[in-house]
Chains A and B, each alone.
Chain A
Amino acid sequence: MIYFDNVSKRYSDGRSTALEGVSFQVAPKEFVSIVGHSGAGKTTLLKMLIAEDKPTEGQVFFESLDVHQIPRVKLPKYRRKIGTVFQDFKLLPHKTAYENIAFAMEANGRSDDEIAENVPQALALVDLEDKIWNFPGELSGGEKQRVAIARAIVNQPDIIIADEPTGNLDPIATYEVVQILKKINDLGTTVIMTTHNKGVIDELERRVITMDEGRVVRDDNQGKYVL
């Protein structure tokens, strides 16, 4: 489903290299964790996938689509196939949990009826039915991240990208968020997650790609956190 073909990213000063000859593929319905120290290139890798950043060499494919050949006007449509979750949640502070999720559906041009039906369902999936009218400021870190996940899945994307989703969370909230991602994966959505939380990886028992200094150093099917 996703193919990274010998992808390299060098910055213009000629010395710093974010990625060096990265190749791997992700099959549909897989749950892939990408681990590595800060600066190992994990986030750059995800940015390549949502076309936020261009590789210096190599190609990234989403199914048969070369991601970096997509015309700019068609990028929004492509990005709707991908749900994104970030360490800092990126919720709009002046909108309630409901409005934050509805907003993503509005941007996708979904009808008001669909929004009224799907938003509560998405919030139910992340166990937040009772916080539907709360503003992000009134939610805990874990709850905010769950709203963000609900927003990412509400448009039924083919794939969820989670960049350090547990980076700001306490151990209990971390556990809850990982369980929800697992549940989403079990329902048939591909998940790609970056993390440097050893506990999360060892508990998951799914595929782990280990990166170091821009290179893929390990790729284990039922991996552990080894660095």
Chain B
Amino acid sequence: MITAIKRIFRAGFVGFWRNAFVSAAAIFVMTVALFVIGATMMLDTLLGVSLENIQAKVDINVYFVTSAEQTEIDALQRSLEALPDVAEVVFTSREQALAEFSERHQNDEIIMQGLEELGDNPLGASLSIRAKETSQYEGIAAFLKEQQAVEDPSAPLIDEVNFVKNKEAIEKLTAIIGAVEKSTFIAMIVLVAASILITFNTIRLAIYTTREEISVMRLVGASNMFIRGPFMLQGIMYGIAAGVLALLVLYPIVLWIGPETEEFFQFNLFNYFVSDFAYIFTVLVGSGIVLGMISSMLAVARYLRV
């Protein structure tokens, strides 16, 4: 058994070197395929991050009347936080609202003057609510509407809910996010399928050149595993080499594009490549190994049929 494994390994390595040209061709094609997979991975991450950024900017704001009691606001905040769809509720006090307002308009004398003349703080406290998914805002808005409905009309708590204003924008964004996710998924599947087909055909071509050898092996009574083993090993070696090469090609590209993405998406792709290198390495080299092994197995199977 050990001798057989040793021989399979030796035959695999010898085959790899003796057919150096064919090996190089197979590795080249697989490198391209794995590069496509790697690049799609990067694009997907980038899209994911930018979608998250956009989603983080969407929220519902509840503005309270200036006379609202803090205990009532706290009670509403707690019941909002208890909703399963709510990711975060941020409270802004009247004082904070005023400070922010003043800062924003510090160069506008008329507004600042008007504010001074008022003497009192005209702004109410507010709650800003973020949902886990953009599609869940509808439900939260409905919940707030219910709250408004049960309020005592003579002493209302909530002054305004701004979801209705944002409603159209939120719906549009939800649709865009869904479409982008769907189309990148389809693109990825098409690219991966094309890569697999091309790799499979290249390896089949590589094995075609040794079909004579396979027929002689069968003739002298070599078991199927003894024949298949070296080719599968070669496929695995192609996969490892191609995976490492694809990473080497990706490296300078993300290094160059990193600062650009930092500026545009607030996300440095190069830092991601470095910090998640183990994951990217595993995915690329792993898919290379699987791709090479399965392609070799299928390609040899053709010549093993009796």
Check A76–B306 contact: CB distance below 8 A. Answer: no
A15 at interface by CB-CB < 8 Å: no
Contact partners of B212 in chain A: CB under 8 A: 90, 92
Do A79 and B221 contact each other (CB < 8 Å), given the known contacts A90-B216, A109-B3?
Answer: yes
Check A75–B217 contact: CB distance below 8 A. Answer: no
Do A112 and B3 contact each other (CB < 8 Å), given the known contacts A72-B306, A75-B306?
Answer: yes
Check A104–B220 contact: CB distance below 8 A. Answer: yes
Interface residue from B4, B18, B224, B306 paired with A109 (Cβ < 8 Å): B4
Contact partners of A77 in chain B: CB under 8 A: 221, 223
Contact partners of A90 in chain B: CB under 8 A: 212, 215-216, 219
* Cβ distance A86 to chain B, nearest Cβ, rounded Å: 8
Check B221–A108 contact: CB distance below 8 A. Answer: yes
B interface size (C-beta, 8 A): 18
Q: List 25 A-B contacts (CB under 8 A).
A: A72-B306, A75-B306, A76-B221, A76-B222, A76-B223, A76-B224, A76-B226, A77-B221, A79-B219, A84-B219, A90-B216, A92-B216, A94-B18, A103-B220, A104-B220, A104-B221, A107-B217, A107-B220, A107-B222, A107-B226, A108-B221, A109-B4, A112-B3, A151-B220, A155-B221
Check B224–A73 contact: CB distance below 8 A. Answer: yes
Q: Assuming A94-B18, A103-B220, what are 12 further A-B pairs, CB within 8 angstroms? A: A73-B224, A76-B218, A76-B223, A76-B226, A79-B219, A92-B213, A92-B216, A107-B220, A107-B223, A109-B3, A151-B220, A155-B221
* Cβ distance B228 to chain A, nearest Cβ, rounded Å: 12
* Cβ distance B16 to chain A, nearest Cβ, rounded Å: 14
Check B218–A51 contact: CB distance below 8 A. Answer: no
In order of increasing CB-CB distance, the 9 nearest A-B pairs are A107-B222, A80-B221, A104-B220, A79-B221, A76-B223, A76-B221, A107-B220, A90-B216, A106-B7
Nearest-CB residue, chain A, relative to B217:
A107
Contact partners of B220 in chain A: CB under 8 A: 79-80, 103-104, 107-108, 151, 155
Q: What is the bound-complex CA distance between A91 and B218, given in angstroms?
A: 13
A117 at interface by CB-CB < 8 Å: no
| Residue among B212, B218, B221 with most chain A CB within 10 A | B221
* Cβ distance A171 to chain B, nearest Cβ, rounded Å: 27
A52 at interface by CB-CB < 8 Å: yes
Nearest-CB residue, chain B, relative to A109:
B4
Contact partners of A107 in chain B: CB under 8 A: 217, 220-223, 226
B residues with CB within 8 A of A: 3-4, 7, 18, 212-213, 215-224, 226, 306
Nearest-CB residue, chain A, relative to B304:
A72
Contact partners of A91 in chain B: CB under 8 A: 216
Contact partners of A103 in chain B: CB under 8 A: 217, 220
Contact partners of A16 in chain B: CB under 8 A: none
Contact partners of A64 in chain B: CB under 8 A: none
Contact partners of B306 in chain A: CB under 8 A: 51-52, 72, 75
* Cβ distance B104 to chain A, nearest Cβ, rounded Å: 79
Contact partners of A106 in chain B: CB under 8 A: 7
A12 at interface by CB-CB < 8 Å: no
* Cβ distance B233 to chain A, nearest Cβ, rounded Å: 15
Do A79 and B218 contact each other (CB < 8 Å), given the known contacts A94-B18, A106-B7, A109-B4?
Answer: yes
* Cβ distance B230 to chain A, nearest Cβ, rounded Å: 11
Q: What is the bound-complex CA distance between A94 and B226, given in angstroms?
A: 19
Nearest-CB residue, chain B, relative to A91:
B216
Nearest-CB residue, chain B, relative to A72:
B306
| Residue among A80, A91, A107, A155 with most chain B CB within 10 A | A107
Contact partners of A111 in chain B: CB under 8 A: 3
Contact partners of B218 in chain A: CB under 8 A: 76, 79
Q: What is the bound-complex CA distance between A106 and B10, given in angstroms?
A: 12
Nearest-CB residue, chain B, relative to A79:
B221
Contact partners of A104 in chain B: CB under 8 A: 220-221
* Cβ distance A84 to chain B, nearest Cβ, rounded Å: 6
Residues of A26-51 whose CB lies within 8 A of B: 51
